[in-house]
Every structure is written in C-alpha cells, then in structure tokens.
Structure 1
Amino acid sequence: MKKTTNYLILVAVSCVMIACSKNEHSPVANNISLHFNNTFKNNTIVLGGANSVDASSNISDSAQVHHLSELKYVVSNIRLVKADGTEVPYNVNDLDKGATVVNQAKPASLDYVLTNIPVGKYRQLKFGLGVKQEINTLDQVRFPAFYAAAGANDTDMMWQWATGYRFTKIEGFFGSENKAFQVHTGSTLNGEGGKPETYTQGVDAYRDITLDLTAAAVVGNNAPKITVKADFDKLLSGQTKVILTAKNAITPSLHSSMAAMEVFVNNIGGNGKENKSGMFSVERVEND
C-alpha cells in the first residue's frame, strides 16, 4: 500500500512539473513590429531641399518631375485579423498607446512595436490613416503623449483652425524651377472652438486601410515583423492624375477647396469603398 501511495505522489509531482514546463515554454502573447518603408515606386524615399542632388526624384504619370522635402503621416486604430477572421484591436481608442506619427526624417519613427499581441496566426492588418472622428480633437488632457508628439516643432501635425490633427504633411518641389508644393490633409470639424459638444463632422479625411499579409504573421515564441510599403508615387499618379500648378500647389489653401484636398486623400488613402489600401501594401512578413 505504501509503495502504491509513493507511486501516486511521484506521478502527481511529475504531472505538475510537466504542466509548469509547458507554461514556461508556451507564451500567451508576444510583440509584432510594424516597419514603414516610404517609397517612390520601389525606391525608398530620400528627402531633400529645393536644390538637393541627393533627394529621390520621381516622374508622375503626367511627366511631372518632383521630389519631397517633408513626409509625415499619422497611423492609428490598428487592428490585426486572425486566420479565422477574429479581429484583435490594439488600443484603438487611446492615441497615447495606439497611434504614432511616421516621419521619414526620423528613422526611429519608421518602426512601431505592438506589444502583448495574443498568440495566433494573423492574415490581415488594418489601421487608420489619420485619426477617427470620435477622438480627433486636440485633447492634451486625455492623450498628453500623442498631443505633445503631434505638436512638436519638428512634427507640426496639428490644425488649430480645424480643431483636430493633420493626418498627412507632405511637402516638396516640382518642375525645372523647383517650385514649392504642400499637401496637408486632415478632417475638419464644424462647431464652436473649445466646445466639443458643438462639433459635427466637416470634411472626413480619415481612411481605414485594409492590407492582406504576404504570409501569416505567427505570434508565439517569435515576434513577427511586418514591413508596410507606402508608395508616394500615388500622390500624383493614384486614382486621380494630378498636375501640380500654382493653384493647387498649396493644399488646402485660400485658393483650393476642401474638395481639392480630398483628391489627394483618395489617392494615398483610397476612397474607403472599393479601394481600401490606397498607397499601402505589405512587402513582407518575417516570423524569425
């Protein structure tokens, strides 16, 4: 009887040890890294001033030569979709924890780490280009970290007059005379300044991006890296072909309507209907 008891104790201890071993080697969450590769077609963008010899040069479908001196955009409302269709949101209502400003002049901003993603196989990535309507107000109290990052002198991603954030800030030069152009996009709100209860949606420049992954991102013992390509050739050569002129070179401006701004929004962010990827695509998924 004693031998039998000892045997049962040994089995129980062994089972506990095996269970502990499994728990130690079976993570329930890990990270996913997003890397943003901003390109002209297939070449990573190099920024430069008016007379730069190093800046990436691009020729639009309308044969207009241009290059960029500044390139920034906001990514928020990030969601990952599992192979079975389950959608996993990532701090979608918290700009401090779930949004970032991608800035081509700041290499560190091109990588954004999503932490504590549940174990599983993911086949799709969704995110917002810009900030969704519900939280697109300059709220320093609610989201102090993002407010500070977006309002920094070297970022300047706020529209005080529009009560919200700039979603993209794209500047550069075009033509043989290197004339300056600016394309700034962002949603506008109607209402009385400083009184959120009076705000209603004006122009909606937010775009929800949906991208199929080139391979499943497998979260487990490894932390996958997803490289997202943003092809700024679409700025002038996307859904609508644009030729930069003195009239539309500064958008929006006193000389260009919000409707003109939406042409650029649709080119780079898609129209939100049949085109939900815009200038974005997934280049590769690394699971190592």
Structure 2
Amino acid sequence: MRKISIAAMAGLLFLASCKKEGKEPEYNQNELAPLSVEFDNIVGGTNLYLNATTYTNAAGEDYTVSLLQYYVSNIKVYKADGTEYVVPQDSSYFLIKEGDQASGSALVNVPEGDYARLVFTLGVDSLRSTMDIDKRTGVLDPASGMDNGMYWGWNSGYIFLKMEGLSAAAPVDGSGQNKFRYHIGGFGGYSAPTINNIKEISIDLNQAGVAKVRKGRTSNIHLMVDIGKVMSGTTTVSIAANPTVMFSDFSTKIAANYAAMFSHDHTEN
C-alpha cells in the first residue's frame, strides 16, 4: 500500500508540474507591455504583390496594384469583461504601406492582460485633422504627408486610403497608361461641411486567439486585409465606370466597402 501511495503521489506531482509549466504567467495590469497589430494585405485568398500579380474584381475586370497605403489610428483594446484601454492618441497613428516591411504593423503599449477585442479607426479623426501643425508629427506631418501623397489640405484633410494600379478597363491617361486611382478620405470638414469617410473597425479576437499581453514578449494580432473588397461589398465598383475616385460622393461607397476588408487570422503570444 505504501509503495502505491508513493507512486500515486509522484504522479500527482508530475501532473502538477506539467500544469504549472503550461500555465500562462500572471499579469500586472499596472504594467505596460508591447502589442503589435500586423496588417497582411491580400486579394481574396491570394497574397498582394505590387506590380506583379493580376487580379480580377467583382465586375470581372483584370487589374494589378502599384500602390497601397492607408492610415490606422485610435487603437483600443477590450478584455472579455468589457474593460477598455485606449492607447494615448499621440502614440496611435500609423501609415501602413504595402511593400515596406517596416510599416506593415502598428506597435503600441497596453497594460498587461488578456484582450478579446481590438478596435481601431481606418483614417484620421477630425480632432487631429484640425489641430495645429505642431500637433501633427511623424506620419501625420503634412510635409511628410505631401511627400507620400496622403494629405490634401485643411478642409479636406488626409487621404485615408490610397490604392492605385493598372487595368485595361481604365482609359489611357496623360502618361499613356491605363491607370486607376482611388484616393479616399474626408473627415467632415474644417471650415465647411464635407463628406465623412472615417470608419471604426471592430475585431473579435475570441475565435482565432485572444491577445495575452505580458512584459518580456510582444503579442502580435495578425489581421488579413482583403483589398479586393475595396471594389466589392455593398457596392460593386467597376474600374471602367469609375477609374478615378477622390473627394466625391462616390467615395463613400468605396469607404463602406473597405470597412469590411479586415479579418483576424491568428494571434501570436
């Protein structure tokens, strides 16, 4: 009996040791830790390659993509019980550029914890868009924005999403190319009312993995961004009918489309 008891005790200790090793470390909600949000651009189920792969839109038109950039801002995370953490605004503006690995993700600091939902804005909010120039630095610097072609002016504001490419469905432009251009923005206006294409995106992380943020490591929320949805969704966008869309009423239809292009693939903890 004594031998059996000792063996049983050893087994229990082994199981307890295994559980302890596999247990997620406790967290201190008063400590900040890094969280990355990765934006993986695709078209349907295919990786996005600039100036290379030919894709087909919902209107049956073939196209290639030469440029893709968009602003992500105002990041918030939520625990399962609804507890919210808002990343300080000054640290919450990112310009995602396809083809530039360094700008393919947003890195922020949030309190340690387990987060079940991610919320962010696609675009630049009206408050920041109308602040003095010295409050708009980094990727929001209008001078830098002009270099990147992502800023219009005080009343029109920033271009939230820019997508350009070639398609035989587009008319020949001044450069002799069949080019389409979608420059979508509009925050509501500074001195006069304008269109408002700001979109808040909410991502449920429960199914593909909550973000377990801890010091000493960087949790990464991996999002797939299907840019094919720029031309499909609530409105099918034909390149032939709309080769160039900028600051116009039709831009609201494209913005409504691209609000649905984000999905959660997995989380790396």
Q: Normalised by the size of structure 1, how large is the TM-score?
A: 0.74
Matched, 1:234 2:251: no
| Corresponding position of 2:79 | 82
Aligned length: 233
| 1:120-269 alignment, distance < 5 Å | 120-137=113-130, 139-148=132-141, 151-152=144-145, 154-160=147-153, 162-175=155-168, 179-190=178-189, 199-213=191-205, 214-221=208-215, 222-245=217-240, 247-252=241-246, 258-269=248-259
Matches within 5 A, 1:59-78: 59-78=56-75
Q: Which amino acid aligns with 2:266?
A: R
Change (3 A) 1:279 1:26: closer
**What SS does structure 2 have at the residue aligned with 1:135?**
helix
Change (3 A) 1:204 1:217: same
Change (3 A) 1:262 1:139: same
Cα distance, 1:139 vs. partner?
3.6
TM superposition shift of 1:248: 1.8
Check whether the contact 2:87–2:108 (CA below 8 A) recurs between aligned residues: yes
- Partner of 1:46 in structure 2? 49
Could you list the runs of 5+ residues in structure 2 that have no partner in the other structure? 1-25, 171-176
Given the two structures, how large is their TM-score scaled by the length of structure 2?
Answer: 0.79
Q: More displaced, 166-175 or 213-222?
A: 213-222
User: 2:262 maps to what in 1?
Assistant: 280
% identity of equivalent residues = 27
Separation (CA, whole Å) in 2 of partners of 1:249 and 1:279: 20
Instruction: Give the secondary structure class of the aligned counterpart of 1:202.
Output: coil
Q: Which runs of 5+ in 1 are unaligned?
A: 1-24, 49-54, 192-198, 270-277
Q: Displacement, 1:154?
A: 5.0
Q: CA RMSD in A?
A: 2.2
Which residue of the other structure, out of 96, 100, 104, is the alignment partner of 1:102?
96
State the match for 2:173 in structure 1: none
Letter matched to residue 98 of structure 2: Q
